[in-house]
């Protein structure tokens, strides 16, 4: 291990420090706050949703990369999409008209466009009202569907090589290795790939053992009556496989951050 600057924060005070960090970061919008409240009253669980820090980071990445075409896989309660759309909205009219850009689509060559996909009808219903408000309505398209099946079928809404400036992969972790077969190609050179949960509760450290463990074998974890524990372990194996494949992909530079449940930030360089 290099003897350079390391983490110096006290782990036992992380919660307080996160509160402090949020207090001195840009505030969450009223609309996002209202959507979190709505989801909290209508769902028994909202813990799959990104927290304010992750949403803030996504917004930052959109602004810093001037992303105008964003693909999100895994909408859930819609607040990550809303955060990114707010950032995209703030960039309106500040685009460089000479920047090489993207294929035309119904939103026009320089208009912000965010496509978010979720296979769960209930979540699609839950985001409808919020996404119908501006600025979200003119930026976000919400699609119900199995994103992997759409990718495999070459769905034209997603599938144009180098179409996307930023892709946020946050869907079904057990299939992450299959997703990345497609998404790197869809990212434009210079674009940003963000993947959540890449350290999977720390279990990626045990992935090799788990992969040889019968419980975690693909056949067991994909069987219809696989237990939660079996699926959980199989996801660790799949995520580890994806991390290794991505690291070997010459088209990308990658930084994995031990933030939240582990976050991959990658840019396409060729």
Shortest spacing between CB 105 and ligand SAM, in angstroms: 21
Contact, 84 vs 56, CB < 8 A?
no
How many whole angstroms separate alpha carbon 186 and alpha carbon 163?
6
Task: Please name which of 74, 39, 52, 68 lies closest in space to residue 173, comparing C-alpha atoms.
Answer: 74
Binding ligand SAM (rule: CB under 6 A), the pick from 52, 59, 123, 139 is 123
Shortest spacing between CB 52 and ligand SAM, in angstroms: 11
259: left (phi over 0), alpha (psi -120 to 50) or beta: beta
Shortest spacing between CB 59 and ligand SAM, in angstroms: 12
How many whole angstroms separate alpha carbon 190 and alpha carbon 193?
10
Shortest spacing between CB 85 and ligand SAM, in angstroms: 13
CA distances to 15, 79, 94 from 195, in Å: 23, 16, 27
Contact, 198 vs 204, CB < 8 A?
yes
Site string for ligand SAM, 77-96 (x = CB under 6 A): --xx----------------
C-beta closer to ligand SAM: residue 146 or 220: 146
C-beta closer to ligand SAM: residue 31 or 147: 147
User: Do β-strands 252-257 and 263-268 pair in parallel, antiparallel, or remain unpaired?
Assistant: antiparallel
Beta bridge partners of 73: 117, 169
Is 52 near ligand SAM (CB under 6 A)?
Answer: no
Of residues 16 through 35, those in contact with ligand SAM by CB under 6 A are none
Is 180 near ligand SAM (CB under 6 A)?
Answer: no
C-beta closer to ligand SAM: residue 36 or 187: 36
C-beta closer to ligand SAM: residue 196 or 230: 196
Of residues 137 through 166, those in contact with ligand SAM by CB under 6 A are 146-148
Q: Which residues lie below 8 Å from residue 45, measured CB to CB, with a gap of 6+?
A: none
Strands (E), 91-180: 113-118, 140-144, 164-169
Count of residues near ligand SAM by CB under 6 A: 20
The residues binding ligand SAM (CB under 6 A) are 48-50, 73-76, 79-80, 117-120, 123, 146-148, 170-172
């Amino acid at each position: 291990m290099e003897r350079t600057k390391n983490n110096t924060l006290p782990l036992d005070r992380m919660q307080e420090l996160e509160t402090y960090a949020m207090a001195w970061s840009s505030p969450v919008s009223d609309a996002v706050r209202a959507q979190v409240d709505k989801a909290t009253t209508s769902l028994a669980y909202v813990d799959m949703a990104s927290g304010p820090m992750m949403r803030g980071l996504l917004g930052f990445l959109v602004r810093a990369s001037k992303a105008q075409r964003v693909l999100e896989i895994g909408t859930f309660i819609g607040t990550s999409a809303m955060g990114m759309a707010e950032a995209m909205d703030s960039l309106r009219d500040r685009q460089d008209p000479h920047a090489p850009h993207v294929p035309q689509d119904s939103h026009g060559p320089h208009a912000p466009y965010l496509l978010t996909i979720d296979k769960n009808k209930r979540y699609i219903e839950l985001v409808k009202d919020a996404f119908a408000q501006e600025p979200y309505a003119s930026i976000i398209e919400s699609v119900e569907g199995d994103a992997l099946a759409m990718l495999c079928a070459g769905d034209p809404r997603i599938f144009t090589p180098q179409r996307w400036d930023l892709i946020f992969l946050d869907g079904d972790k057990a299939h992450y290795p299959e997703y990345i077969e497609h998404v790197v190609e869809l990212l434009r050179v210079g674009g940003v790939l963000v993947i959540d949960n890449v350290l999977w509760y720390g279990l990626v450290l045990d992935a090799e053992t788990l992969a040889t463990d019968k419980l975690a074998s693909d056949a067991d974890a994909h069987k219809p009556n696989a237990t939660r524990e079996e699926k959980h372990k199989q996801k660790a194996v799949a995520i580890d496989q994806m991390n290794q494949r991505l690291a070997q992909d010459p088209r990308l530079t990658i930084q994995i951050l031990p933030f939240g449940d582990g976050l991959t930030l990658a840019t396409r360089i060729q």
